[in-house]
A and B are shown apart, each in its own frame.
Chain A
Amino acid sequence: MLLDMLASYELAASLAILLGLAPIVYLLGKKWGRAAAWLSLLGASASALLIIHVSYTVLTSYNTLLATISFDVTSKTYGLLIYFPFYSTALRVDLSTWTASLVTSAMPYYPNPFDRAVTYPLFHIFQYRLIARPYYNIIPQPAFRIELPIAVSMNPLLLLPIDAGLLADGLSCPVAILISGLGALVLLYCTKYMGDVKQPGTFYASMLLFIGGMLGVLFSTSVIEFFVFWELMLIPTYVLVAYYGLTEKRGVTALKYFLWTTFGSSFMLVGMLMTGFNLGTFNIQEMRVVLDAYQNLLYSTVIPNVLPWITGTLLGQQVQLWLSLAIIGALMVIPVALIMVGFAVKMAIFPLHTWLPDTYMEAPMPVTLLLSAAMTKTAAYGIARIISLYFAPSVAAMTIGLSILAIITAFYGGIMALTQKNLKSMLAYSSMSQMGYILFGYSMATFYGVTGSFFHIINHGICIATWFMIAGMLLKQFGTLDFEKLGGLAAKMPVTATLAVIAGLSLSGIPPLSGFASEWMIFVGGAVANQYLLLGFMVLATAVTLAYYLWAVRRIFFGPLKPGLEQAKEPPLRYLVPAVLLVVATVILGIAPNIATQFFAPLFGATPILPTIYGWEQLAYVLTALMMV
């Protein structure tokens, strides 16, 4: 319990450091720019370490009362196809004495250690056939952990009418590690990259506020607080783009970005208010309680009274369950759709994406890195936190529409990326395309889809950050990111080339890298929801992703050395170290995705798999919803 108390202070401190250091850095930066840079790096690193420790506490403390496990068994058999992403959990072998002796008594003991070295691995492999969990005929459940969220409330005695707090649980922790870690790494990168920036105080203060705002979004307990931090995130980014943008049109671009985001946020606010007033609370955890109670009410009282013949048979029970969920879904379709609009703007989903290319090109490289790798992730996180957990039936009603939008985004981004002549713009479109993947997973509203999308948040954050760092390294050395002018650099900068290749392959979904695990899960989510056609299109989009990444790598790093590049050398360590750390994380997460999925998989376990509604039924569904409003 002491550790939990400490963890809640750590959680608050991690946010307070960032927000509190911002004015200090601003004032310091008026005279001493480098001091401001290093101080902001220090603050961001401290914040990241605190968040990592909080995540460790969340992961390792157990509380049976707050169990968030639920199992979802359907009659479909997907066997190894579904279990595959969780292959790291298969290493947990039952080590009881009985099984050990069972196996050892079947194994002869060879006194010759060289014979043992050959035969024991064979027996060891066989052992899994004997005592491994059978993974056919039921959908295997991943290794669930019962975790204790760390919560800090700003209103502990409920004296004030506001409801705000910080919640670190399995959902916030991984993304918070990603964002605060990326913040620290980017600030390290900035100390050298933006070493000669004018008005460093403003720059670093804005960066700190940006990171702090994003962390606030992640940790927020209440929908209103979420919105407040959401808007708070907007101001530093506006400042960063408007003051430190690369071209003359930076003011206009920044304004465009601001207006687009605010437009989306207004939809989101309406949706959130509707949700809050419908359910009676703005606290996200309480919403769940209310929804559960309402579902129980429907299940136990309303439906048996309205449709009494349903409760008789087993199939009727299933239908009753589904019906209760469907009614809730129907009730909440419109608020959920509005909230989705807001997130869609931030995630640059077609057709709300037009702000993205200009803003990404305009901002300096570290800012673009954070925009792409962190800010869009908060939107994806928001979908998971607010919508996917509790409003899955509503999303299931919108599956086809959302997934079509997601596919269009993926293809649009991919094809545009193929046509770009500049690495940075290619990466901007690539970012948009990957957000399409994430939305596809969410739109499927199944356990695997949502978990895969959430995992893809982390993976994409890591890999696209690597790529932007590499782009920054190239820009600093050569002053240009044109594909025409760059070529054959692998011989001169082999480490950078390796990092680029690995990050590119990860995003294209090549095993055993992390992008493969998350994309596989997303596709499995689509399969479970029976959307095979849409899934097929998404898989084709993977081919496009592979194409533009490999082509970019080919053009920049391989082939003959372009003239004028003879002086190329490996970038300095302060650029390389963050990128190397990120790539190592990609590889490790690819081999053991359970490291990340253990955080949030249990929380998504409650996501039910609902049949998708087509055509006229969908219309009737929506009309019913409208009537309910």
Chain B
Amino acid sequence: MLSDVTLLYPIIVPIVFAIIVLGAGTLFERVAGGKLQLIREILAVIGFIIASFYVFLTYWQLRYLQIISDWFQLSAGIFIPATLYYEYMPAGYWMTFAYQVFMNGQNWLLYKATMPPAGSVFAVDFLSILMAAAFTGLGLAVSIYSIRYMEHDTGKTKYYALLLILVAAMNGVAFAGDLFTLFVFFEIMSISAYSLVGFRKENWEPVEAGFKYLLMGAVGSSMVLYAISILYGLTGTLNFAYLGTLLGLGQALNPWTFLLGGSTFYLVIILLIIGFGVKAAIVPVHTWLPDAHPAAPSGISAMLSGVVIKAGVYSMARSLFVVFPVTEAWPWLVPINVAPYNLPAAFPTGFPGYSFPFHWNYALVVFAIITLIVANVMALLQQDIKRLLAYSSILNIGFIMVGISIGTAAGVTAGLFHLINHAIAKGLLFLGTGVYLHATGSRMLNDLSGIGRKTPITSLSFAIGTLALMGIPPLNGFWSKALIVLSALWYAPFVPEGWVWVTVALATILASAFSAAFYLRLIYVIWFSPESERVKAINKRESLVMALPIAVLAFACIAFGVYPSPLYSLANRAAEALLYIPNYFSGIV
């Protein structure tokens, strides 16, 4: 069960089905026509279903490992009393994974192509599986949606193949266990994305947008490549486990290790942030996104906004947290009735600090705040609904960055939670705009006013998604946004520059409140304004095949808003997997 090639099925299955779709699609285009061509779409959907099944299976394998380790500790009587520092500490409650080092010898599911440290590994932990679940799930929704959306397009074979390869590559990014593998799959993902953005090459707009995306993505990738090469030169390995352990242990064992890299580390950090930031659409390298989203077919817009930029966020987070981890020792044996009231006694050497050279999370949070501000202002000025949603995506990436840059378990959990919630809601919104585009032929808000009554299911789901992004309880967006703000506030008392985090929390609240303006404008335009000419001309009902994934995503918004606990627990385990460096180490040993 563990550590065999089934781990890679979420990557292999979509590739295999891409090949099948290519073959079958070409065949049916030549040989048959009409309805038989649907077989190609069905095959794509089946591919996604199988891939998501394997993702689900892998998740349960990981959970099994974790449950075993917890129960072992309970029975051995060595259960660590719960930490009360969850909101202030870098690694969270599920430190129990450390015991797997002694018990099972691993807590990652590992597939080694060639032996580390020089080889390529795939290491699946909770963060990877979280991302893979998001990627594959949204891919499934988009593929079902595209059956009806792309019915009048040509080249659908290439479309579905590219979609499958996109998802396979993103799963590869998620499962990558070293920087090289990550980079390879990152590039495959980028190329698929460029092609899909420029899919409708008859018009100029998608071509320009795709080309712009390509150029900016290439520059970003080259910056990342440069950073990877610097790291390889410094340490001789690219494996996450080795990198993290080397730098952490080096700092612990030899205080002069900071001379190892010196000021090069500043360069590495900046290159990583900007390089991956291009893909993650951080201001000031976000400018490709407002052009790419409107130009791409709506399903691809949903994918781009929902998961592709999240892959950039994931890569950035993974590389930064691994290369520059938090290194404070955990106070294992502090008596329980002293520590909550006597933190200085529990941490005599001071509170946890980031590894040298400096606290990079402050740099990241500056970028995040700028992202929030710029995205908010720009979104207010838009007349094109997809461009508006694109800027909204940038805004939400800002929120996620705020959460992740806090660096505590609570913060990273909140950021990842918001990542999932945004993926669901934004996917929902873009699919909805596709329905509107399909019905009226226009993306302009003036042309879409009053479309609510004509497309009730879609528009109702659209409203739910918008409310979720606004942060209205009891939808899921409320919980994640609230937790981001709270995590910042919880961390503030424990660092000398706590005022930064209080300011960050305030800025996040303000940004959230500000964004209500254009979200409400959206809802108003769609539901409460008089119908425009194009809307009056709609005489068909909305297609159920398109409305189904939208409604399912809206239902997920409501369900996770009412009962967010499972998602939050998953995000929590993912955050711990990211932050707790001994996890990486045990996977290799």
Partner of B572, one of A101, A109, A111: A111
Q: How far is the CB of A152 from chain B (nearest CB, A)?
A: 47
* A104 lies within 8 A of B565 (CB): no
Q: Which of A110, A111, A113, A115 has the most CB of B within 10 A?
A: A111
* B86 lies within 8 A of A104 (CB): no
Residues of A within 8 A of B84 (CB): 104, 109
C-alpha spacing A109/B93, complex, angstroms:
8
Q: How far is the CB of A433 from chain B (nearest CB, A)?
A: 49
The answer to the question of B81 belonging to the interface, with a C-beta cut-off of 8 Å to chain A, is: yes
Interfacial residues of chain B within 72-109, with CB under 8 A of chain A in the complex: 81-84, 86, 92-94
Contact with B along A90-128 (1 / 0, CB 8 A): 000000011001101101111111110000000000000
Interfacial residues of chain A within 280-331, with CB under 8 A of chain B in the complex: none
Residues of A within 8 A of B82 (CB): 107-110
- Known pairs A98-B337, A114-B479; list 7 more (Cβ under 8 Å): A97-B341, A104-B84, A109-B86, A111-B409, A111-B413, A112-B565, A112-B572
* A112 lies within 8 A of B568 (CB): yes
Partner of A101, one of B86, B92, B336: B336
Q: 10 nearest interchain CB pairs?
A: A109-B82, A101-B337, A114-B565, A111-B93, A105-B336, A111-B86, A112-B568, A112-B569, A108-B82, A111-B92
C-alpha spacing A105/B79, complex, angstroms:
12
Chain A, residue nearest B569 (CB): A112
Residues of B within 8 A of A107 (CB): 82
Contact with A along B543-572 (1 / 0, CB 8 A): 000000000000000000001110011001
C-alpha spacing A524/B262, complex, angstroms:
80
Residues of B within 8 A of A101 (CB): 336-337, 340
Q: Which of A110, A114, A115 has the most CB of B within 10 A?
A: A114
C-alpha spacing A101/B565, complex, angstroms:
26
Contact with B along A530-567 (1 / 0, CB 8 A): 00000000000000000000000000000000000000
The answer to the question of B227 belonging to the interface, with a C-beta cut-off of 8 Å to chain A, is: no
Contacts A111-B92, A112-B565, A115-B565 given; does A105 touch B572 at CB 8 Å = no
Q: How far is the CB of A216 from chain B (nearest CB, A)?
A: 53
Contact with B along A188-218 (1 / 0, CB 8 A): 0000000000000000000000000000000
* B336 lies within 8 A of A113 (CB): no
Residues of B within 8 A of A111 (CB): 86, 92-94, 409-410, 413, 572
The answer to the question of B268 belonging to the interface, with a C-beta cut-off of 8 Å to chain A, is: no
Chain A, residue nearest B79 (CB): A108
5 cross-chain CB contacts under 8 A: A97-B337, A101-B337, A104-B336, A111-B92, A114-B563
Chain A residues in the interface with B (C-beta under 8 A)? 97-98, 101-102, 104-105, 107-115
Residues of A within 8 A of B564 (CB): 114
The answer to the question of B483 belonging to the interface, with a C-beta cut-off of 8 Å to chain A, is: yes
Contacts A114-B564, A114-B565, A115-B565 given; does A109 touch B83 at CB 8 Å = yes
* B483 lies within 8 A of A104 (CB): no
Q: Which of B82, B479, B563 has the most CB of A within 10 A?
A: B82
Interfacial residues of chain B within 310-345, with CB under 8 A of chain A in the complex: 336-337, 340-341
Q: Which of B86, B341, B563 has the most CB of A within 10 A?
A: B86
Number of chain B interface residues as a range: 20 to 34
Q: How far is the CB of B82 from chain A (nearest CB, A)?
A: 3
Residues of B within 8 A of A105 (CB): 81, 336-337
Chain A, residue nearest B339 (CB): A101
C-alpha spacing A110/B483, complex, angstroms:
15
Q: Which of B84, B92, B479, B569 has the most CB of A within 10 A?
A: B569
Q: How far is the CB of B92 from chain A (nearest CB, A)?
A: 5
Q: How far is the CB of B8 from chain A (nearest CB, A)?
A: 30
Q: How far is the CB of B185 from chain A (nearest CB, A)?
A: 31
C-alpha spacing A111/B340, complex, angstroms:
15
Q: How far is the CB of B13 from chain A (nearest CB, A)?
A: 32
Q: How far is the CB of A126 from chain B (nearest CB, A)?
A: 17
C-alpha spacing A105/B334, complex, angstroms:
12
Residues of B within 8 A of A108 (CB): 82
C-alpha spacing A115/B83, complex, angstroms:
15
* A114 lies within 8 A of B568 (CB): yes
Q: How far is the CB of B559 from chain A (nearest CB, A)?
A: 13
C-alpha spacing A98/B340, complex, angstroms:
12
Q: How far is the CB of B571 from chain A (nearest CB, A)?
A: 9
Residues of B within 8 A of A115 (CB): 565, 569
Interfacial residues of chain B within 467-509, with CB under 8 A of chain A in the complex: 479, 483
Q: How far is the CB of A236 from chain B (nearest CB, A)?
A: 58
Chain A, residue nearest B413 (CB): A111
Contact with A along B386-401 (1 / 0, CB 8 A): 0000000000000000
Q: How far is the CB of A162 from chain B (nearest CB, A)?
A: 60
C-alpha spacing A114/B92, complex, angstroms:
16
Q: How far is the CB of B89 from chain A (nearest CB, A)?
A: 10
Interfacial residues of chain B within 159-176, with CB under 8 A of chain A in the complex: none
Contact with A along B440-474 (1 / 0, CB 8 A): 00000000000000000000000000000000000
Partner of B483, one of A98, A109, A113: A113
C-alpha spacing A114/B84, complex, angstroms:
16
Chain B, residue nearest A108 (CB): B82
C-alpha spacing A114/B565, complex, angstroms:
6
Residues of A within 8 A of B340 (CB): 101, 104
Residues of B within 8 A of A98 (CB): 337
C-alpha spacing A98/B564, complex, angstroms:
34
Q: How far is the CB of B411 from chain A (nearest CB, A)?
A: 12
C-alpha spacing A466/B270, complex, angstroms:
72
Q: How far is the CB of A587 from chain B (nearest CB, A)?
A: 28
Chain A, residue nearest B570 (CB): A112
Q: How far is the CB of B240 from chain A (nearest CB, A)?
A: 24
Residues of B within 8 A of A114 (CB): 479, 563-565, 568
Contacts A105-B81, A108-B82 given; does A113 touch B568 at CB 8 Å = yes
Chain A, residue nearest B483 (CB): A113
Residues of B within 8 A of A102 (CB): 337
C-alpha spacing A113/B86, complex, angstroms:
11
Q: Which of A98, A101, A105, A112 has the most CB of B within 10 A?
A: A112
Chain B, residue nearest A115 (CB): B565
C-alpha spacing A105/B409, complex, angstroms:
21
Q: How far is the CB of A40 from chain B (nearest CB, A)?
A: 50
C-alpha spacing A331/B483, complex, angstroms:
73
C-alpha spacing A467/B81, complex, angstroms:
59
Q: How far is the CB of A98 from chain B (nearest CB, A)?
A: 7
C-alpha spacing A104/B341, complex, angstroms:
12
C-alpha spacing A109/B336, complex, angstroms:
12
C-alpha spacing A575/B77, complex, angstroms:
69
Q: How far is the CB of B376 from chain A (nearest CB, A)?
A: 27
C-alpha spacing A115/B570, complex, angstroms:
13
C-alpha spacing A109/B479, complex, angstroms:
20
Q: How far is the CB of B303 from chain A (nearest CB, A)?
A: 29
C-alpha spacing A98/B341, complex, angstroms:
11
C-alpha spacing A449/B513, complex, angstroms:
57
Residues of A within 8 A of B336 (CB): 101, 104-105
Chain B, residue nearest A107 (CB): B82
Q: How far is the CB of A584 from chain B (nearest CB, A)?
A: 29
C-alpha spacing A114/B570, complex, angstroms:
13
Q: How far is the CB of A31 from chain B (nearest CB, A)?
A: 58
Q: How far is the CB of B417 from chain A (nearest CB, A)?
A: 10
Q: How far is the CB of A132 from chain B (nearest CB, A)?
A: 20
Residues of A within 8 A of B569 (CB): 112, 115
Q: How far is the CB of A107 from chain B (nearest CB, A)?
A: 8
Q: How far is the CB of A109 from chain B (nearest CB, A)?
A: 3
Residues of B within 8 A of A113 (CB): 483, 568
Chain B, residue nearest A118 (CB): B565
C-alpha spacing A115/B340, complex, angstroms:
20
C-alpha spacing A107/B564, complex, angstroms:
22
C-alpha spacing A110/B87, complex, angstroms:
12
Residues of B within 8 A of A97 (CB): 337, 341
Interfacial residues of chain B within 401-451, with CB under 8 A of chain A in the complex: 409-410, 413
C-alpha spacing A52/B83, complex, angstroms:
48
Residues of A within 8 A of B413 (CB): 111
Residues of A within 8 A of B563 (CB): 114
